Amino acid sequence: MAKKRTPQKESPERDPNTHILGSGAVLKQAIPETLVTNYMPYAMSVILSRAIPEIDGFKPSHRKLLYTMYLMGLLRGPRSKSANIVGRTMQLNPHGDAAIYDTMVRLSRGYETLLHPFVDSKGNFGKSYSRDMMWAASRYTEARLETLCAELFRDLDKDAVDFSDNYDGTMKEPNLLPASFPTVLVNANTGIAVGMASSICSFNLEEVCKTTIALMDDPGHNVADTLQAPDFCGGGYLLYNREQLEEVYRTGRGGIRVRAKYNYDKLNNCIDITEIPPTTTAEAIIEKIIERAKAGGLREVSDVRDETDRNGLKITIDLKRGVDADALMRRLYKHTTLEDSFSCNFNVLISGMPRVMGVADLLLEWIAFREECVRRRVSFELGKAQERLHLLEGLAKILLDIDKAVAIIRKTEEEAEVIPNLMIGFGIDKLQADFVAEIRLRHLNREYIMKQTRDIDDLNREVADKEEILQNRGRVHKIIRGELETVMEKFAQPRRTKLLFADEIEEIEPEAVTPDYPVQLFFTREGYFKKITPQSLRMSGEQKLKDGDEIVMQLESSNTVELLFFTNKCQCYKSRAADFDDAKASVLGDYIPTKLEMEPEERAVFMAVTRDYSGQLLFFFENGKAAKVELSGYTTKQNRRKLLNAVSDKSPLAAAFQLGAEDGAKVYFAESTVGRGLIIPGASIPAKTTKNTQGVGVMTLKPGVRVNRVTPYVDGSLPDQHRYKTKNLPAAGAKITGNLGEQMRF
């Protein structure tokens, strides 16, 4: 039997953009439409109401907190519990107590992130330079407003700025704070919005105020002339680059490099770091140092620890014996956040629109904002003065006939008719009549009325003055200038971040640990240099030299020593043994003038080898003088490769020697071109601190005669050595007899 078919129900028409799934209908919607409908309102809210500061220098959360504290009377008087402040602030800020307290912490003096903090804190508010040092709960800490905040709320009660309702319409709050100085640049401010961010570095208050005054006088003023550089609460050193800084000032974007400040404690052989860049923390620095030390990249470090206490930040790095602290810090600057970059992005809300501006444009916008605040204040004061003047003018008319006024009031049967009758009787308006009618009976005497009307002339002058201010922009600028000068006088402080100029910055590429192994160093008269390992030297034959050349210095050393090459042009070129490749005896070696890129016609005449710049250098000149110089005088913090005026240029070098601690008693034999010889004790030549000193006379020479050779002398080498000795220097020496080479037994 055939199965009976059940009739199908007709399905309703479906929108082709709608899909039916198990959980219900899903509406198809274009991505751009979804972004506009759902995402853009959120993005705009974050940009306008949370993350980007406005021209007064504050985000809404900052402004709500400070205004609440102002209403609580915390500008003067004792501190209040932070929990109390946070709770009161929730009337304006609905984002929760944790967010409000975090905002207070970052504005506080205790947190140490602002050059000029706004919250005077008591208790543990953490530290901006510590990631792990958390602040105490709000119930334990106390706070009030700093004295500087009086400049933020100046004229707030004189209609200087607009007010709007809070989130539930129960209170009014200022849209901006009428700050009397450019807080937008004085304190650092950062924020991340949706699709954009803001990062404003802090500047010295005095420099900002002076720059603002200069821009009021000349809008084309070059801000770099008065605004030296950013200034951070944590101090440190700013690597000053005028071109990069002017680019930041012009565009509002760029990077500023800041490095830590350290001191070397020679007694304990350690480095104490006391100031770090604002973008890092002590924990991050210590972790990076430990990481590199474990990887074998910091063998000079024996320990690192955080010794921060009530006196402030202190990171201590213990060093192994003989370590160059400055060289180690150069490497740490390169490989850790002890040197870091602060990225500038001067993004500020101007009339509800985010704009990235340079310093000059930002300050000009602030000047325009402050002009409007001053004009509104003056207009408010003008209105009050005019109102007072109007009342006093009515009172002055009563002065003409007080008895008449009393009679009008007494004869008026109904109270409601008193005001109209006074208006008619004296020709005054309702406000004036109200004022007169409210005068107490005890004040109906001429003395009282004369006192009240005595201010009419002063009020007339005040009204005229304020009207003139509103019409004259120069007067407004004069007021703003006076306020800025007052702020500078009260709150200016010295720069905390010192400037490190280009010629003081050691721009080198720190390398990995240089392998240390024994080598033999060879230096020839013609200026060739070889570095040969002992194994290679044992397997080699005789040394290959240029025709007529000879080895003048050969010594055992290591691959990590530093080399100083002195030239015939009185200059010194610094290098390291590790910069030269290992060679063999069968090659000529590296030609020093070419390797170190010396000047034309310049050649190396002497080589000194050192590891720690201890000891001395002894120079003998052809004019008969000698100079002993401390080798430490050739150290450079900037790691310069070329030192000018390294040796006196008054006379060519006749010979040079490097002296160790045990070489102070060495003796030398000097020969002149006329065949005279003189034994010179090295101890008789005093040490000088100046590298290019002319030295002291040791050998007296006639015109045209010079010293042509100086060699070390061993006592007893000459059979008649007493002839060449003298009690006093300088001396002419004695005539050399016979063959000197055969007589001297070295």
What are the residue ranges spanned by the domains of the chain? 59-176, 261-337, 379-485, 514-611, 618-627+655-746
Backbone angles phi, psi at 371, to 5 degrees: -55, -45
Q: Which of 42, 140, 167, 517 is catalytic?
A: 140
Contacts 24+ apart (CB under 8 A), 42-45: 42/194, 43/193, 43/194, 43/195
* pLDDT for residue 398: 77
* pLDDT for residue 58: 94
Do 59-176 and 379-485 have matching folds? no
Structure tokens at 618: 């002894």
* pLDDT for residue 448: 76
- pLDDT under 50 in the chain at which residues? 1-4, 508-512, 745-746
Structure tokens at 199: 């990062």
Q: Which fold has domain 379-485?
A: Topoisomerase; domain 3 (1.10.268)
Tell me how far apart the alpha carbons of residues 228 and 344 are, in angstroms, rounded to a whole number: 16
Q: Is the dihedral of CA 59, 61, 62, 68 positive or negative?
A: positive
Q: Which CATH architecture has domain 59-176?
A: Alpha-Beta Complex (3.90)
Going by their DSSP bridges, the two strands 687-688 and 625-630 should be labelled as: parallel
* pLDDT for residue 111: 94
Based on the residue annotation, tell me whether 140 is a catalytic residue of this protein: yes
User: What is the CA angle 120-121-123, rounded to 5?
Assistant: 160
Which CATH number applies to 261-337? 3.30.1360.40
Which residues fall within 8 angstroms of residue 123, CB to CB, at 6 or more apart? 82, 110, 136, 140, 141, 142
User: What is the CA angle 656-662-666, rounded to 5?
Assistant: 50
Predicted TM-score (pTM) of this structure = 0.66
Tell me how far apart the alpha carbons of residues 263 and 307 are, in angstroms, rounded to a whole number: 14
Find the length of the chain.
Answer: 746
Q: What residue type is 341 in one-letter code?
A: S
